[in-house]
A and B are shown apart, each in its own frame.
Chain A
Amino acid sequence: MSYLPLYFKLVGAGVRAQLQYRFAFFMRIIGLITAYAGMAATMWVMLYRFDALGGWTFYEMLFLLALAVVSWGCCITVFFHFKSLDTYIVNGTFDRFLVRPIHPFFHFMSMKFDIGAVGQFIFSIVVFLWVSMAIDIDWSVWKVLFLLSTIIGGVLIQGGMLVIISALAFWTTKSEQFYWVAMYPARNLTNYPLVIYPKLVQMITAFIVPFGFVNYFPSTVILGKETPYFPDFVGFLSPLVGVVFFLLAYWLWMSGLSRYKSTGS
């Protein structure tokens, strides 16, 4: 069976379901844009006094933020509901994914498609354009391709993290909580250049929770910045890291699922 057309059909249903709650939908988009604009404003205020933070100027930091926001936007569109797997397990609705003749990971993934992320896209496109003009980034074809592959890598890294958090529900019946306690703060770290953090934190975001590859390392390539402690090519590794990390997450999720099949909870 070909999963791609089926994915669009299932996802289409998810979108129509989401649009049943129009008010909540629009409020969320507005809320997100406002929140990110607020974050950008904070950066501006901070850098108004210091000119640069860890060698990063206001516009460079905006670029960093926009890159994080755009790949997070894509990521939550496809994967955000993974963090709520615990609810499905606890109220028993997860079983339905196991009595259907399609792959359960695929089925679960296609349950939702969060178009509310357009807020993220609007914000990041505006910022990319603004920054490109302000600091004259010259967008060659290669740079654009590099940016796109980086975004894909970032989506896979963050999506992988959501899948890992989701998988924890198979062992603990909790996942949403792990998202708010672990992933949410870790992700927020990456809104600023990692160079401002202690070496240990930088190592963790490179090798353990590889959020550094979502925006920081690739941005250093585009903006031509130094990466202390890391070789120069590190910024090119995002897609590779993304694929490996996501496969690892998928494997963990499937192991969790086979555990679920013997425990039922």
Chain B
Amino acid sequence: MPIIEVNNINKDFMVAKRETGFLGSVRSLFKREFIKKEAVKDISFSIEKGEMVGYIGPNGAGKSTTIKMLTGILVPSSGTIKVNGIVPYEQRQKNASNIGVVFGQRTQLWWDLPTIESFELLKEIYQVSDARYKQNMEIYQEILGLDEFLNTPVRQLSLGQRMRADIAASLLHDPPILFLDEPTIGLDVVAKEKMRTFIQEINRERKVTVILTTHDMEDIEKLCNRMVLIDHGQKVYDGDISAVKERFGKIRTLVVDVENGEATFDIVGAEVVKREANRVWLQFNRDEISASELIGRITQTHSIKDLTVEEPAIESIISRIYQEGFEEKLVSV
């Protein structure tokens, strides 16, 4: 039996034309004009226990809105949801003890207090037994390296530290389900890697079912077997990730600053797609040439002042999927 079942959910927001100023707010109490905004349209999926699902789509696609419905923060306009046998918006508090939630954009911790205090308070809120608390804290401290900042107030934590603390906090009560809304946002490469290892571990060791949203394809590649792709509130793909990866994950862009912006690059497997002053964008296929190989080749003829490798943005994958009619072949409904 699936641990999460979502059937034909819709979420419409009535967006009011906001009035400005105090008088505006008073007036808006009585009379407002609305525009209907369909944030989520007829989405269905079901997730089995222990799965790790990437829930992706461009900005404004409806990812966070879906997560909010699954956590009971929002009530769907229509359709049904069951999370671990519970309807989240009807039994919100009961649902809350079954789930862990991390909103990468904002912390759930007590801003002004040493980090450890947030853990202690959450222990009380979730009624975690002393033994369980101690055990979990030991594990999380070890994997996430929380010790180094447990006594630092949350507001002084770096983003990476804060995110580690947040995810540990969301798992204190051993929830069978974990919702992660952009858990790697703003993290550096090392921090992202740590975060991924941790997510992987709790999924493997504790069979925690994970749904995560992200704009980083690498999160998906490294963590998920399955992805649900949505755009404009609608599901456009649901299934195996390897097929998508196969097709689109290979194209990368290397951005180099060279001395001469007019320089020519004659390298097999890479082509110049854009130039701007002394900056050149080279698109390459990872199967044909690796980034380090490509950089090596360039340095033979040019001196590189700076470089970055750009991943294919999720937005571009989605637009490609549209252009190339990906869904017809792969949507498994």
Contacts and interface: CB of A to CB of B under 8 A. Distances in A.
A in complex with B: yes
Interface of A: 1, 5-6, 9-10, 13, 16-18, 20, 91-93, 95-96, 98-103, 107, 168, 171-174, 177-178, 181, 261-265
Contacts of A103: 93
Given A1-B127, A101-B126, A264-B74, A174 B117 contact: no
Given A20-B153, A98-B92, A99-B99, A264 B68 contact: yes
B94 interface: yes
Contacts of A5: 124
B25, B96, B153 interface centre (most CB from chain A within 10 Å): B25
B29 A263 contact: no
A98 B101 CA distance: 11
B75 A172 contact: no
Interface residues of B, number: 37
A95 B73 contact: yes
Given A181-B22, A261-B75, A264-B13, A102 B105 contact: no
Contacts of A98: 71-73, 92, 96
B121 A168 contact: no
Contacts of B243: none
Contact of B25 (A17, A93, A101, A174): A174
A99 B126 contact: no
Contact of A264 (B65, B113, B125): B65
Interface of B: 13-14, 22, 25, 28-29, 65, 68, 71-75, 77, 89, 92-94, 96-97, 99, 101, 103, 105-106, 108, 110-113, 117, 121, 124-127, 153
Contacts of B101: 99
B163 to A, nearest CB: 15
B121 A264 contact: no
Contacts of B94: 101
A209 to B, nearest CB: 16
A1, A9, A99, A102 interface centre (most CB from chain B within 10 Å): A99
Contacts of B13: 263-265
Given A92-B106, A93-B106, A16 B125 contact: no
A95, A171, A178 interface centre (most CB from chain B within 10 Å): A95
28 contacts: A5-B124, A6-B124, A6-B125, A9-B124, A10-B121, A10-B124, A13-B113, A20-B112, A20-B113, A92-B105, A96-B108, A98-B71, A98-B73, A99-B71, A100-B125, A101-B97, A102-B125, A103-B93, A107-B125, A171-B29, A172-B25, A174-B22, A177-B22, A177-B25, A178-B25, A261-B73, A262-B74, A262-B75
Nearest to A102: B125
B73 A91 contact: no
A38 B110 CA distance: 37
Given A262-B74, A262-B75, A100 B124 contact: no
